[in-house]
Structure 1
Amino acid sequence: MNSSCLENESAVEHAPGHAIIAEMLAQAGIAINGCQPFDIRVVDPRFYRRVLQQGSLGLGESYMDGWWECERLDIFFQRALRAGLEHRLPRGWRDILYVLAARLVNLQSLRRARRVGERHYDLGNDLFEAMLDPHMQYSCGYWKDASTLEEAQEAKLKLICDKLRLAPGMHLLDIGCGWGGLAAYAARHYGVSVTGVTISRQQLQLAQQRCAGLDVDIRLQDYRHLHLQADRIASVGMFEHVGPRNYSAYFEIAARNLKPDGLFLLHTCGSKQTDARVDPWTEKYIFPNGCLPSVHHIAQASEPYWLMEDWHNFGADYDLTLMAWLQRFVQAWPQLAANYSERFYRMFSYYLCACAGAFRARDLQLWQVLFSRHGVEGGLRVAR
């Protein structure tokens, strides 16, 4: 350890709660005011009490307020989650109330569903255009044979289309179509017509522009209002906003909108545990009313309507995707800064790093699940 590290160590202010937080972090090999890139540097001693009182929410908000710094937040979260520190943080009253509400109230009802569109996806197309690839894919790329974000996202789009066995003349329904990247790719490369639905007005406008001249219909519509007979259905990065109280209805609606011999691909982040717990910081600042499904959630809700043909986990690829987004976000910040605050910068970079660390720690998963209505005769040789 060099002399500057020793000086930092000796200069730590022993504020109330310091010893408890220091002991907790030490279990993950993280030091306070240490010299490793994943160590934290406490700027405001109120940080300790805030984290002890508010848990994850206090940790995130105190970072947004500049009370602590960390050179490599992604590694900080990877180590913290690997050590299980999230189970030692106190559950604040906001967290407890959310769990109770999720059990008693439909937090993803029709009335509430537009909140995530307004709060997150409508942040600004300038932000997402700067951060994402040319296909505007705000979901995990497929890095099996890719070395850049562009290659990984195009590989993901091809993987989805190949798994669905798209062919010219088919009708694809894209539930949660985002900025129309999959719709445009499928129409151009596979000769299909596409109906895409989103609840974000910002996404709608840009998707319609990007799909102009193609056999693509983009609508501002909730999935519960769909009445189609598609040959294929894809839903990418949308199921995270459906909520446990709506899972069964979601799968029933998808089945109702698909021809009997059709295929349905669900691409979703997932939780390794089955519960209604949601990170309170993420719920407040990033994805209001969001909830990650578990394997049990999906299996139980889909069973009455679907036969599962394939289940593919490539969650480790989300780490690479998120870090690529972070790099682009940081590089674009000088141009974005005029439209967003410094606190937003800290919030958004914290979000990207926390998610990258969680996927790297394998605390979060990414699944593609392929369903048929009655089972494909002879089975499927599913693309990888």
Structure 2
Amino acid sequence: MSSISPLSRHRRSPQDAGTPSTARHALPGWLPTSLHALLERADIRINGGRPWDPQVHDRRFWRRVALHRSLGLGEAYMDGWWDCEALDQFICRLLVHGGGTESQSRWRDAGQWLWQALVNRQSLRRAPTVAHRHYDLGNDLFQRMLDPTMSYSCGYWRRAHTLDEAQTHKLDLICRKLQLTPGMTLLDIGCGWGGLLHHAATHYGVQGLGVTLSGEQADIARERCRGLPVEIRVQDYRTLQGHFDRIVSVGMFEHVGRRNYATYFRTCERLLEPDGLTLLHTIGSNSSSHGHDPWIDRYIFPNGELPSVAQIATASQAHFVTEDVHGFGPDYARTLRAWDTNFRHHWPEIAPRYDERFYRMWRYYLNSCAGAFDARDIQLWQWVFSPFHRRAAYQSVR
């Protein structure tokens, strides 16, 4: 457990000093009826005694949540205004009982729709934003939170007992789905820290090219793939040239954006050999919504969007045959909890580079996402595509 206890270090504001606990934490009568009803349906008691019951420390919490919904809830947690022993269970209960519809106001929802209609948030110029603000946070953070393969995506827990096993099994699952053989060329779009390319080159004898927009990721990827037939570039996938036997993308499509889905598949079609295969590993949404969680967008993954099955199918159908769709979203909740355990355990080693608010932000991110996967509010899919007229039969792999 971290040496920092967010609860013990909370500072109450002067206006809270001396205020009786029961009065300060009672549900305000002016709260929207829908929020009262949501808490009742979800069996959540403010300052209750169960692990999923939130403990409110600051009376300003209520107005912040009422005005800013999901964004206010996350920011209030970052500021130490509330805590919850089982934050993932709290979020899961909210989402299972309809909390997603209360996540933001209609005005904010309409503003998101208008902004996305007018602006390509993932254009060539804007695409590096998420790399600079998230993936370049510091390799020290990710090296301690992730497993030795440095896989920052859902592990495959079907036969795994540890995070390292789950990620190694995931990497091998991808290689088997792509039917890799020695001498093939593999393009990894959004290669991260090079774990998949290292595995594919080491165990399947392929030659690889990985592209990322993060300089921090590229540095480690080049080092770990030293001596292997693997090249790492800091480059946008849309500017690539050449042809590859196989193309893979793991955990990158969430940053592509709906305005660029067709461009993504058109680019893969241009780069893929006629008898090739391409695999897409992505988090997904249950519906083709134009919205996105405002807290995640502001603090974790700026300009991110989760695709739906319909959006992926529509964008890909002009370019590829869908050979396989494999969903294992519940595995992501287990992966996120393993990351949270690692993060808490190693926090004292990296705390001097960050601060308490970052600690709380990161734990809220990991646990709220775990709760969303537990609630089946978001999904994880692996899609396998082949070019039209590819004659070789495809056999699904699990």
Q: Normalised by the size of structure 2, how large is the TM-score?
A: 0.92
Aligned to 1:222: 236
Q: Shift of residue 85 of structure 1?
A: 1.5
1:212-291 equivalence runs, <5 A: 212-291=226-305
Q: Give the Cα separation in 2 of the matches to 1:362 and 1:327.
A: 22
Q: Is the contact between residue 9 and residue 34 of structure 1 (CA under 8 Å) also seen in structure 2?
A: no
- Tell me by how many angstroms 1:8 deviates: 6.9
Give distance in 1, aligned partners of 2:125 and 2:107: 25
Tell me what 1:3 maps to. Answer: none
Cα gap change, 1:90/1:176 in structure 2, threshold over 3 Å: closer, same or farther? closer
Matched, 1:141 2:137: no
Deviation of 1:55 after TM superposition, in Å, equals 1.0
Q: Matched residue of 1:380: which SS?
A: coil
CA distance in 1: counterparts of 2:350 and 2:109, whole angstroms: 32
Q: Is the 8 A contact 1:13 1:45 kept in 2?
A: no
CA distance in structure 2 between the aligned counterparts of 1:228 and 1:153, rounded to whole angstroms: 30
Partners of 2:105 and 2:32 lie apart in 1 by 19
SS at match of 1:338: helix
State the alpha-carbon separation in 2 of the partners of residues 176 and 63 from structure 1: 31
* Cα offsets for 1:78-106 (capped at 9, x unmatched): 11100011213441755432221112211
1:299 equivalent in alignment to 2:313: yes
Pairwise CA RMSD of aligned residues?
Answer: 1.6
Return the alpha-carbon distance in structure 1 between the equivalents of residues 360 and 394 of structure 2: 46
Partner amino acid, structure 1, of 2:238: R
Query: 2: distance between equivalents of 1:244 and 1:314?
Result: 23
The DSSP-based 3-state class of the residue aligned with 2:352 is coil
Change (3 A) 1:24 1:94: same
Q: Would the aligned equivalents of 1:323 and 1:352 in 2 still touch at CA under 8 Å? A: yes
CA distance in 1, matches of 2:30, 2:137: 36
Give the counterpart letter for 2:85 in structure 1: E
SS where residue 111 of structure 1 aligns? coil
Deviation at 1:13, TM superposition (A): 4.0
Q: Secondary structure at the match of 1:30?
A: coil
Do the aligned partners of 1:175 and 1:196 also contact (CA within 8 Å) in 2? yes
Q: 1:323 to 1:282 in 2, by over 3 A?
A: same
Amino acid at match of 1:12: H
Change over 3 Å in CA distance of 1:116–1:262 after alignment to 2: same
Task: Give matches, 1:166-181, under 5 Å.
Answer: 166-181=180-195
Return the offset for 1:275.
1.5
Match of 2:47 in 1: 33
Q: Distance in 2 between matches of 1:250 and 1:11?
A: 52
Q: Give the one of 369, 377, 381 matched to 1:355.
A: 369
Whether the aligned pair in 2 keeps the contact of 1:8 and 1:33 (CA below 8 Å) is no
Q: Higher mean Cα deviation, 354-363 or 19-28?
A: 19-28
The one of 342, 347, 353 equivalent to 1:333 is 347
Partner Cα distance (1:288, 1:275) in 2: 17
Counting only pairs closer than 5 Å after superposition, residues 1-384 of structure 1 correspond to structure 2 as: 12-13=25-26, 15=28, 17=30, 20=33, 21-91=35-105, 93-374=107-388, 376-377=390-391, 379-384=393-398
Alpha-carbon distance in structure 2 between the residues aligned to 1:257 and 1:363: 34
Using the aligned pairs only, state the percent identity.
55
TM-score, normalization: structure 1? 0.95
Shift of 1:23: 3.8
Cα offsets for 1:11-40 (capped at 9, x unmatched): 734546458544431211111010000001
Which one-letter code corresponds to 2:135 in the other structure? Y
Structure 2: where are the runs of 5+ without partners?
A: 1-19
What CA distance in whole angstroms lies between the structure 2 residues aligned with 1:92 and 1:39? 27
Alpha-carbon deviation of 1:60?
0.6
Q: Secondary structure at the match of 1:252?
A: helix
Tell me if the contact between 1:248 and 1:302 (Cα under 8 Å) persists in the aligned partners: yes
The one-letter code matched in structure 2 to 1:352 is L
Corresponding letter in the other structure for 2:122: Q
CA displacement 1:138-195 (0-9 Å, x = unmatched): 0000000001000000000000000000000000000000000001110000000000
Instruction: Return the letter of the residue paired with 2:25.
Output: V
Count how many residue pairs are aligned between Structure 1 and Structure 2.
Answer: 378
Residues 172-219 of structure 1 show CA distances to partners (whole Å, capped at 9, x for unaligned) of 000000000001110000000000000001101111111111110000
Per-residue deviation at 1:9? 6.0
Q: Which residue of the partner structure matches residue 4 of structure 1?
A: none
**Equivalents in 2 of 1:130, 1:191: separation in Å?**
29
